Structures are given as structure tokens and as C-alpha cells.
Amino acid sequence: MSVYDDQKKKDDSRVRRLTRESRDLVDVLPPRVPGNLDAAAPWAGMLDRRSFLKSTALFGLAAACPLGVIEATNPSPAAASEGEERFISEALYYEKLPHKKIRCTLCPRECVIDDAERGYCGVRENRDGTYYTLVHSRPCTYHADPIEKKPFFHVLPGTLSFSIATAGCNVNCKFCQNWEISQTRPEQVRSIYMPPKKVASLARKYECHSIAYTYSEPIVFYEYMLDSAEAGHEVDVLSVVVTGGYISKDPLKELCGKVDAIKVDLKSYSEQYYRDVVSGELQPVLDGLVTMREEGMWTEIVYLVVPTLNDSDEELAGLARWIMSYLGPDVPVHFTRFHPQYLLKNLPPTPVETLERAKAIADAEGIHYVYVGNVPGHPGEDTYCPGCGRVVIERVGYRINEIHIKDGLCDFCRRQIAGIW
């Protein structure tokens, strides 16, 4: 067993402990069916893929439910289950069109939707010419996670973040870790009623310094995210967003006024990759990053390095140059390790040397904070002061060993370290 595997085992066990400690969150949940309740992942309690296929074969259903309950799938509004109305509120960004059609303007897809139909993300519905979100206050998963798991490395290190997600996503990445919730409709997963004030009070109760909108794609539960951020701020809890960044300019600007930090999964520096692997577009994500900078938003970038698909020297250098030109050197960049899953099982995990090569390229371009991710125990997890080169935050996985930053300054040379401390 390598040092990395050994450390990963320790980190997994720490997260299992944190998960157990937050287990009394079940006071807001209806009873679960027996399942993988001890799993550390956000989809804890889900059926595994084999059980999922078995269940769907047994019951003739279209999908499994992340929290372990199987329900019949029927997206028809007429068949909405009792109590579903409390999850429905009018969407914030759309235009009315003739013949009761609407155009959703929340993300660059700009879906045009007929009456009684839904957009691509499956969680927004046209009812008689008015557009609604179906997932307000409707999380299908929740956890108290270390903020390093998001990962945010320059936001309140060593604290917990109350993490929530609803069903749905506006892209379909072939490597998605959480496809069981991101690629489903709200009726296909077991959800709970957790209004924004409850989110904020649970965050306080479990000593989380922030609320994280994460796991699936928070842009599709935009209205719930904004309201929860407001409720969080009323009780001094920050809000951090983990997103693919595929959002239109106006809603993004409004979001920047309501949350404290955004981590963008920049999946590649190639339009072709975005088309083939993500089912999205690169340019709107780059434009969004520039908007975040203009709005003064604290932003970190994660780049999942997928062997043979987005790991060439040319692409990595192009990405690093773009970041330096448009965002500057202080945006942290995390090169994280891919593991085969979902629709990309034919590729091996990213070799550590590839991640080190990506880091070396970004370092050489002048980016100050470049990390190697998903390799616990690697020195590329630490934060180094760009002034004196000393380690100012030492990490192993999600654990912080030492912090040498006071009032945002390096303890050794007093240089400013960018971030929210």
C-alpha cells in the first residue's frame, strides 16, 4: 500500500466520523430504508449501481433514489404527490413567449419550453405560461463536510460546511461522481423539506461556518440557493458555491451579490471537450470567471485531469496563460485526480506524474497557488507563501496540520496570502 493509499484510508475514516457526528440530522428526515448509511460520500445511503439495475429491473422503474427509497417516476404536474406544492415557486430568470411558451434565461442553454414541459435540467417546469422551479427547499442530500472537500483551500480552512444539493444538472459530464442525483428529476429521488431558515439553523447547530451548494449543480436550484444564502448571512454563516459555472451573466451577477465564494469546475480548455464529454460549452464558463473577478468574488478553480482527454502540455499551458491574463496570479488552481466512473470507465486513474506536470506548467506561468488534488499526503496539497516560499498551510487530505497565516498575512515574511481567513 502506498503512502497516498494509506493516507486516503485515514482521511476516509475521518470523514466517516464527521458523517456519524452529523447523523442526528435525521431529525429532519423521514425514515430511511436500510442501505449504505455509513458511506462517507454525499450519496450515502444510495443504492450501488448493481443494486440500482437490479431494482429497476425488479420494479420496472426508470431510476433509483439517492437516499435509498424507490418511488414511481412520473413528471406530470397532474400527478404531483401530496405536499409537492411547497417545493414550487416561480423561477427568477425567464421570458414569456407567445402561445404560453417560455424561454429560460438562467443558463446559456436558454431552453425554449412549451406549456407543461420542462427544461434540459429537469427541475424547472412551464405551467400555463409561467415558469417554476420544482426544487425550492427540496434537498435530496445533505452533509457536514470539511470545506477542504469542496475543495476550497483559501476559505476558512479547517472548518465544516453544511452541504446541500437537489436533483438536476444543466450539463451531463461523462465522469460525473454524483450522476445518481445530477441526472435525475426531483420525483426520482427521495427529498426532504428544508426551507432556507432551517438550512441556516442546521448549519449553526452543527457548527458549520458556511453553507455549501454542491454535489449536483446549484445553478439549477438557484432560487433556493439565493434564499438560503440570505438566511445564512442573518446568522453569520457564509455561503460557498461549487459549480460548473455554466450560468448566464445577469443571474451570475446577482449570485455574486449574495454569496461569499465560488469554486468553478473548469473541465477543460477546449470547446471540443466541452461538447463531447460535458455536453456544454467552454466560452460561457470563461466569461463567467471574468464576471466573478469583475464582481470581486473569491473564486477557486478545479481542473479534473482526465488521462488522454485534457492533459496535453499545450492545453494545460493555454489554460494557465488564460488564467494569468484574465484572472491574475492569485486564483487558486487545483489539478485533481480522475477516477474511472459513470460513463468514463475505460480510462485509468490520472497518474500522479501527470498532475505534477500540470502543476509545474501552471507554476511556471506564474500562478501563485497551484495544488495537486485527490492525492492525500502529496506536498502539492500544501499552501506555499508566494513571498518566502515557506509552507503556510500544511494539509493531508481534508485535514489541516498547521496554519501559519495571521490576519491574512504569512507568519514568516508578512506577505499577504489571498483568501477569506
> Which residues of this protein are in contact with ligand SF4, per CB under 6 A?
104, 106-107, 109-111, 119-121, 124, 170, 220
Tell me the DSSP string of 95-159.
Answer: EE-STT-EEE-SSTT--EE-TT-B-TTSSEEEETTEEEES-TT--SEEEEEEGGGTT-SSBSTT-
Nearest-approach distance from CB 104 to ligand SF4, in angstroms? 3
Q: What is the DSSP letter of 174?
A: T
User: Looking at beta carbons only, is 32 or 127 nearer to ligand SF4?
Assistant: 127
Residue 251 near residue 93, CB atoms below 8 Å = yes
User: Looking at beta carbons only, is 104 or 358 nearer to ligand SF4?
Assistant: 104
User: Looking at beta carbons only, is 120 or 152 nearer to ligand SF4?
Assistant: 120
Tell whether the torsion through CA atoms of 103, 170, 253 and 133 is positive or negative: positive
Nearest-approach distance from CB 121 to ligand SF4, in angstroms? 3
User: Looking at beta carbons only, is 18 or 140 nearer to ligand SF4?
Assistant: 140
Q: Which of 77, 169, 61, 68 is nearest to 123 (CA)?
A: 169
User: Looking at beta carbons only, is 121 or 211 nearer to ligand SF4?
Assistant: 121
Q: What is the DSSP letter of 334?
A: E
How far, rounded to the nearest angstrom, does the alpha carbon of residue 282 sit from its chain's CA centroid? 17
Nearest-approach distance from CB 109 to ligand SF4, in angstroms? 4
User: Looking at beta carbons only, is 176 or 320 nearer to ligand SF4?
Assistant: 176
Q: What is the DSSP letter of 351?
A: P
Nearest-approach distance from CB 403 to ligand SF4, in angstroms? 38
Q: Which of 351, 341, 346, 343 is nearest to 374 (CA)?
A: 351
Dist CA 147 CA 208 (whole Å):
9
Nearest-approach distance from CB 157 to ligand SF4, in angstroms? 32
Residue with the shortest CB distance to ligand SF4: 119
User: Looking at beta carbons only, is 55 or 172 nearer to ligand SF4?
Assistant: 172
Nearest-approach distance from CB 68 to ligand SF4, in angstroms? 27
Nearest-approach distance from CB 120 to ligand SF4, in angstroms? 4
Nearest-approach distance from CB 140 to ligand SF4, in angstroms? 17
* N residues, the chain: 421
Residue 175 near residue 192, CB atoms below 8 Å = no
Tell me the DSSP string of 177-208.
Answer: TTHHHHTS-GGGS------HHHHHHHHHHTTE
Residue 388 near residue 412, CB atoms below 8 Å = yes
User: Looking at beta carbons only, is 126 or 210 nearer to ligand SF4?
Assistant: 126
Residue 360 near residue 379, CB atoms below 8 Å = no
